[in-house]
Amino acid sequence: MNEGTSRLDQQPSYYQSSGWQGSDELHPPGDGAPAYRVVFKTLKVAFEAQEVRGPNFVIRFAHGNVQRGGMTLGGAMPGRSFNQAILASEALFRTSADGVFVDFRPVGDYEFNGWEDTVDNVFYAEFILATEATSAQGRIAEGQRRLASLKSMIDLRFGTRVLGVPLTEEVGELFGDGHFNRQIHSGELGGEHELDPHEISAADLMAAFDAHAAIRDGLGGKARRAFDVACEWYWTSIHEDDPVVAYIGLHVALEAVVGTQKHAARELSRVTGKDEACCRQSLTEYKRHRNALVHGARGGARDIEKGYLTSMRVVVEALLSDRLGVLDDARTKLAAQAMDLRLT
């Protein structure tokens, strides 16, 4: 088993399964337009049936049965990130003439299981939108964005009981007659058995805790609170499924840890060895992209280049690592590349 204090970031390979529900001879899979569907049950609110249909949307307020479905991963544990699962291993001690060892062994097996059910006899509001996005994540993001003003209007005009309980949020495809084919996806599944075993000694653990306590004790009350806020936003952002929300959250973390953009450029120059003007220019570009997303300057689009998200994460990780006294050469090099706008 490997020992030491090197960072343990290795991840297993992730796999995913997908399928279709609701298709038939008139609506074969792949023949409709990429679409997003969300359905809400009212909370003891009744209304007359209404349907509004356009070339790329269907909106229904009705009473009846709501069909829904999806896919689950049997035998797997939820992972740290949204929509990820791990096929876990158990840790068993083994004693031999050479000492005590730990064996990691996979536990059981996994299954990709499709499911369908029907919620009967409810008043519901159903929204189906054809989308330009084709990926599952993209369709959900586009659907949520395009329905945001309508859902807000319903809440603010009629109250929160109309869209009272979300029954399902799905992706699939929309046909001209209003039919919806549901496309189901499993979470991403990775196996712990693929990873290299590693051991951290009690001395290394205690040294890390003692160093962390000393760093926090050395901060004033205001600085300690700001540092905690930065760490909270960093942790939240790296586990956020929506890349735009993650990107904005990392900007909040950056501001919390260093304050103004001027201070951020100065700190990054010190950490990376890059010219302060170069750091300021790069941070201005990242902030410009954030502002465009926040203020709708991109026509409401929520697209974000992967390099921007990667760079902001690298920048925040470098500054937090520096504060924690664990900044290494690899992270310093990545932060320097982020200041050159060279990460993808």
Residue from 181, 168, 166, 165 nearest 130 by CA: 181
Alpha-carbon distance of 184 to 283, in angstroms, equals 39
Residue with structure tokens 């735009």? 244
DSSP secondary structure, 270-320, as one string: HHH---HHHHHHHHHHHHHHHHHHHTTTTTT-----HHHHHHHHHHHHHHH
Q: Which residues of 67-102 are buried (b: 16+ CB within 10 A; e: fewer)?
A: bbbbbebeebeebeeeebbbbbbeeeeeeeeeeeee
CA distances from 248 to 25, 231, 290, 317, 344 (A): 45, 14, 6, 15, 18
pTM greater than the 0.75 cutoff: yes
Both structure tokens of 106: 């996979």
Both structure tokens of 254: 């950056």
pLDDT per residue, tens digit, the chain (344 aa), is 555 445 678 889 998 899 999 999 999 999 999 999 999 999 999 999 999 999 899 999 999 999 999 998 888 888 888 788 898 899 888 888 888 888 888 877 778 889 999 999 999 999 999 999 998 988 998 999 899 999 999 999 999 999 999 999 999 999 999 999 999 998 889 999 899 898 888 999 999 999 999 998 888 888 899 999 999 999 999 999 888 899 999 999 999 999 888 899 999 999 999 999 999 999 999 999 999 888 876 555 567 776 899 999 999 999 999 999 999 999 999 999 999 877 66
Residue with structure tokens 């499709």? 114
DSSP secondary structure, 82-118, as one string: TTEEEE-EEEEEEEETTEEEEEEEE-S--EEEEEEEE
Q: Hey, how many other C-beta atoms are within 10 angstroms of the C-beta on 150?
A: 13
